[in-house]
A and B are shown apart, each in its own frame.
Chain A
């Protein structure tokens, strides 16, 4: 097996190229790979199609920083503040750079990633019948179920095959094998659909730790392109068993990004003026330390003995 451990900076530079499609968060509100979002912004990678069902303020940051001109998602905003100011400006302000939206519901984007993951030509769905999403997103197609007697309407969703998926896990080994627990949104489908998977691990462990519980593996190392040791990679979003959500940080971002000038100042302070994710964590200091989960609610041991 090949070691795939890389510094985050190198993994982003190598796999996230301009004008590519990147899944940045597919667990919905937790495990958003903000460390990767920030590194993409620092490296000034442009023209991205950001794929994320709901990635809290991550997509808003990428739009404001000029990294992304397409969004494929179901919800873009800031859960603590409501609306995403950069996202709004991209649609409402004639002076702002426009963003093309591939509009979805949570279920339709999930099925698009599932179709991508499983090599399906498309996914037929009933969910979102009657919604104007089928009008604002011309990628989808109305059809009739050929197996029904009464010409039942269905919607055909084309597969999504992202160039890269960045995923946040609790632990991984140097070969990219990893464990993820807690709800996982559509991140497994996103990883299986993507051409390259970058794993951001809160902790790097001995391979035996991962091998001891193969049912908890999100995606095996043979499908992983790079694994990076990035504690608190999801900050300010939460990570089960590791980090609580930093509500104040989201609130501050919402307040400060209200104007373009305010956003630029925030960007300078928290991303461009910070060397890397380790420096970002250091800058957060006790604010981050207070979010560390220190309690213990362990699952029962699981026996895989063969005899």
Chain B
């Protein structure tokens, strides 16, 4: 078996969340690399969408710092305005979207706005960008975050990007379909389970224990009865990743 870094495992776990033919908001850095791996392995016809007004059939070949960089414009499927691309969310066409955040809670709500009271915040974070739209309107939300107690919290201070809100049917009552389908961390993958839609430990990365993950989670994390070990990257997945990450940025 090939050696892999934890970030490479997170990329490959993220790639597995993308199905063939899907429309996916792929963001930057880790998720855009995951999109590249998915395309080269099991999802050759997945389309990558970018809030600035770009759609692509394949990730850019040169390094990107922002989604609007020249390599992301070159050979795009479409360069247009924000509204034609982001409206596909509201139109119900977007299958999945990746976002990150400062905090995520037991119902998969994500905060990128304020730590503390929004009227008098302890920390002012940059804000939503397109994350609130992606969380509200994609069929499946995928959250990428480092597994720390201060990041996986009982309840976020501010719901920038809605998950299952207060659990149960509160998301549906708010007028929303879809919802978080996975929180992918450096230790594990959490998924919603049961009528309450609470995030449960669903898949554990090799070398980590249930106790360690529970310890680093800010709520009483329950374990799915059918919890599995995250399958390590296959040779094919690693080959695809190395083809995209030629410089070894994620190694």
| A residues at B contact (CB < 8 Å) | 27-31, 53-54, 56, 73-77, 79-80, 82-84, 87-88, 90-92, 103-108, 110-111, 114, 125-133, 135-136, 152-154, 181-189, 238, 240-241, 244-245, 247, 293, 297
Check A131/B128 contact, CB under 8 A, given A107-B89, A185-B82, A245-B66: yes
On chain A, the residues within 8 Å of B161 by CB distance are 131
Check A126/B175 contact, CB under 8 A, given A75-B126, A183-B73: yes
Check A245/B79 contact, CB under 8 A, given A75-B128, A107-B89, A132-B160: no
Check A127/B126 contact, CB under 8 A, given A29-B68, A107-B86, A183-B52: no
In the assembled complex, B209 has its CB within 8 A of some CB on chain A: no
- Bound-state Cα–Cα, A29 to B73, Å: 13
- Bound-state Cα–Cα, A182 to B66, Å: 14
Which of A131, A136, A182, A247 has the most chain B CB within a 10 Å cutoff?
A131
Chain B residue at minimum C-beta to C-beta distance from A182 = B73
- Bound-state Cα–Cα, A111 to B81, Å: 12
In the assembled complex, B51 has its CB within 8 A of some CB on chain A: yes
On chain A, the residues within 8 Å of B13 by CB distance are none
Contacts A152-B175, A154-B175 known; 12 new A-B pairs at CB < 8 A = A28-B67, A30-B69, A31-B68, A75-B127, A77-B126, A103-B128, A106-B129, A127-B86, A127-B89, A128-B136, A129-B162, A185-B81
- Bound-state Cα–Cα, A87 to B121, Å: 12
A–B complex contacts, Cβ < 8 Å, 6 sampled: A28-B67, A56-B66, A91-B124, A92-B121, A129-B136, A153-B174
In the assembled complex, B130 has its CB within 8 A of some CB on chain A: yes
**Which 9 residue pairs spanning A and B have beta carbons closest together?**
A130-B162, A77-B126, A183-B53, A29-B66, A30-B68, A91-B124, A106-B130, A75-B129, A153-B175
CB distance A185 to B52 under 8 Å? Answer: yes
CB distance B132 to A128 under 8 Å? Answer: yes
CB distance B68 to A132 under 8 Å? Answer: no
| B residues at A contact (CB < 8 Å) | 50-54, 65-70, 72-74, 76, 79-83, 86-87, 89-90, 113-114, 118, 121-133, 135-137, 158-162, 165, 171, 174-176
CB distance B79 to A105 under 8 Å? Answer: no
- Bound-state Cα–Cα, A129 to B87, Å: 14
CB distance B171 to A130 under 8 Å? Answer: yes
Chain B residue at minimum C-beta to C-beta distance from A87 = B124
- Bound-state Cα–Cα, A133 to B135, Å: 13
On chain B, the residues within 8 Å of A80 by CB distance are 65
